[in-house]
Structure 1
Amino acid sequence: MSKLSEQDIEKKLLRLPDWEYFDNAIHSEFEFENFKDCFSAMSRIAFECEALDHHPNWTNVYNVLTISLSTHSANGVTKKDFELARAIEQIVEPEED
């Protein structure tokens, strides 16, 4: 998987307004009602990570989940990171029909 250019990353981020690019990764932070809701989302995200065989750098403090995505083997951001970011968005903020 090849590393994306900064231009490609910025263009893709237009579709993910809750994410930012810095320090060679894309980052987002999500706040939940409480720890239980945050941990529940992390558990659902973990299943998606395993399915995609791609794992985030993340931290959780009480009701806040902070996520950084990059592809270590490419030494930067790839399409795989955006695929996981979109899946995370669907888990954390599902679109209502």
Structure 2
Amino acid sequence: MTTQHTSGSTAAPTKIVTTATGRILRVNVDEAGVPLSTGTPVAPAAASPAIADPARRADVLFRVRRAEGHELSAWWMIGAFVVTSGLVILLLSGVPGIA
């Protein structure tokens, strides 16, 4: 993982691009939004189009980005923890030799 070091108080402007494989890239851009050349060849934009929402890719099975107000309640996770803990305690109470 690389970090961006600057000598001033503001960082260089960047643009976040998601490739077709789901890789998230940070690209340095100038004030007009044109990518700066870094000495490495740039692939054409048609070969790797940016995806608007990586969670909606076809190969992502269980990750879903829901609309505002339709998030899963935290109480479901708390309840699942309590039920799982109770089940483990219940099962372990039948094991002989445990104090």
TM-score normalised by L of structure 1: 0.19
Structure number with greater CO (CA < 8 Å, separation at least 6) is 1
Q: Which structure has greater strand proportion?
A: 1
